[in-house]
């Protein structure tokens, strides 16, 4: 089994990481059992975030008594120096460790945020202080916007990036991957199965694993998913002609409904967070019930009901999605979930 080097960090990772979003949905006992099984199978990188409710806490409890080196990656959406520094300390407490190996500024998806994190009291300098104080080893950043991620890479301030990549979201191949490789920056590939909406998870993961310079971090909720993912990672082979045909068929079928999260459709005159609403299926599969019924996702659902069908968003979408219909369909999907 070939480990993968994460750029200039020189971390050698198992071919896949353990994505910590779905363990919010399961009990503490189940999460501990799942994480320990992942480590038994060879996974040595666990990725989570401050925003994933109790994910950090469950991971911390699972790691107690484990004598094998496991690299930890977490994130904070805080945009200020003091705020993200405090979040790092909360992560340390939740994970029951003295140091987090990798810490991301979470979701730098717009240009205002890009500018904010580099201001004198911005989040980047909070992570720099955390690194100087020995609380983290490597400064990282995640983004769903490939243009912004390219500019973040060019600053050369980040050791690792996290980017959405799957066989529909292949845009990182154009600029993001070449820029990161040129600077020897490690790459974590989030959403390798597009948040659980791609119909063949094994093939989706196999596609991403063809790029030996990145580490996909699929969200894992149960032992069956875990063992399937590890099996794919341990038996990587080139994609066959039939697999490529299946990928092309899936892309054609989903091309008119799949949101790439570029947010070119924004701003919405009604303030609707469009890319959140039209990806409802993915969130309903990954978020705990409590997070669906309150907080940012529920607020997005409420705002979506104010859609006037003006069509402004559709004139901006580079993928020609029928956004108005997608909003209506996803409102119905959420309403049915909520009962």
Q: What HEC string does 167-214 produce? A: CCCCHHHCCHHHHHHHCCEEEEEECCCCCCCCCCHHHHHHHHHCCCCE
- pLDDT of 286 strictly over 90: no
Which residue from 252, 257, 269, 263 is spatially nearest to 325, judged by alpha carbons?
257
Rounded Cα distance, 226 and 183, in Å: 32
Mean pLDDT within 254-273: 91
Rounded to 5 degrees, what are φ and ψ at 239? -65, 135
Give the 3-state secondary structure percentages of the chain, helix then strand then coil, rounded to 5.
45, 15, 40
- pLDDT of 164 strictly over 80: yes
How far is C-alpha 182 from the geometric centre of its chain's CA atoms?
23
Domain ranges of the chain: 4-241, 274-338
Q: How confident is the model at residue 145 (pLDDT cuts 50, 70, 90)?
A: very high
Q: How confident is the model at residue 256 (pLDDT cuts 50, 70, 90)?
A: confident
3-state secondary structure of 161: strand
**Tokens matching residue 299:** 């607020």
Q: What is the percentage of the chain residues whose pLDDT exceeds 90?
A: 93
What is the rounded end-to-end Cα distance, in angstroms, of the chain? 47
Rounded Cα distance, 188 and 291, in Å: 25
Report pLDDT for 262.
87
98-123 residue pLDDT tens: 999 999 999 999 999 999 999 999 99
Rounded Cα distance, 115 and 317, in Å: 24
288-336 residue pLDDT tens: 998 899 999 999 999 999 999 999 999 999 889 999 999 999 999 999 9
Q: How many CB atoms lie within 10 A of CB 132?
A: 9
Q: How confident is the model at residue 255 (pLDDT cuts 50, 70, 90)?
A: confident
Average pLDDT in the chain? 96
State which fold the 4-241 domain adopts: TIM Barrel (3.20.20)
How are beta strands 71-76 and 100-105 bridged, if at all?
parallel
Kindly give, in sequence order, each residue whose CB lies less than 8 Å from that of residue 174, ignoring residues fewer than 6 positions away: 146
């Amino acid at each position: 089994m070939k480990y993968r080097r994460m750029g200039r960090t020189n971390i050698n990772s198992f071919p896949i990481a353990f994505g910590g979003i779905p363990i919010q949905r399961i009990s503490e006992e189940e999460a501990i059992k799942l994480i320990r099984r992942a480590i038994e199978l060879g996974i040595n990188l666990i990725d989570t975030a401050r925003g994933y409710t109790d994910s950090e806490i469950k991971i911390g409890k699972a790691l107690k008594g484990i004598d094998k080196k496991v690299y930890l990656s977490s994130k904070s959406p805080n945009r200020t120096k003091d705020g993200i520094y405090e979040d790092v300390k909360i992560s340390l407490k939740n994970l029951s460790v003295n140091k987090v190996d990798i810490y991301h500024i979470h979701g730098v998806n717009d240009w205002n945020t890009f500018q904010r994190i580099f201001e004198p009291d911005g989040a980047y300098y909070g992570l720099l202080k955390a690194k100087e104080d020995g609380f983290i080893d490597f400064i990282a950043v995640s983004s769903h916007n490939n243009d912004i991620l390219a500019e973040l890479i060019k600053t050369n301030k980040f050791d690792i990036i996290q980017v959405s990549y799957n066989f529909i979201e292949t845009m990182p191949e154009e600029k993001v991957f070449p820029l990161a490789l040129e600077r020897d920056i490690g790459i974590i590939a989030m959403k390798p199965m597009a948040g659980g909406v791609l119909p063949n998870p094994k093939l989706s993961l196999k596609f991403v694993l063809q790029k030996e310079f990145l580490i996909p971090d699929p969200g894992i909720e149960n032992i069956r998913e875990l063992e399937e993912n590890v099996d794919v990672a341990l038996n990587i082979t080139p994609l066959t002609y039939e697999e490529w045909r299946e990928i092309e068929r899936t892309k054609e079928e989903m091309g008119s409904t799949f949101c790439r999260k570029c947010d070119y459709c924004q701003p919405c005159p009604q303030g609707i967070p469009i890319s959140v609403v039209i990806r409802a299926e993915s969130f309903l599969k990954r978020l705990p019930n409590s997070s669906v019924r309150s907080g940012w996702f529920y607020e997005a659902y409420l705002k979506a009901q104010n859609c006037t069908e003006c069509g402004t968003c559709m004139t901006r979408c580079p993928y020609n999605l029928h956004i108005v219909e997608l909003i209506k369909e996803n409102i119905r999907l959420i309403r049915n979930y909520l009962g």
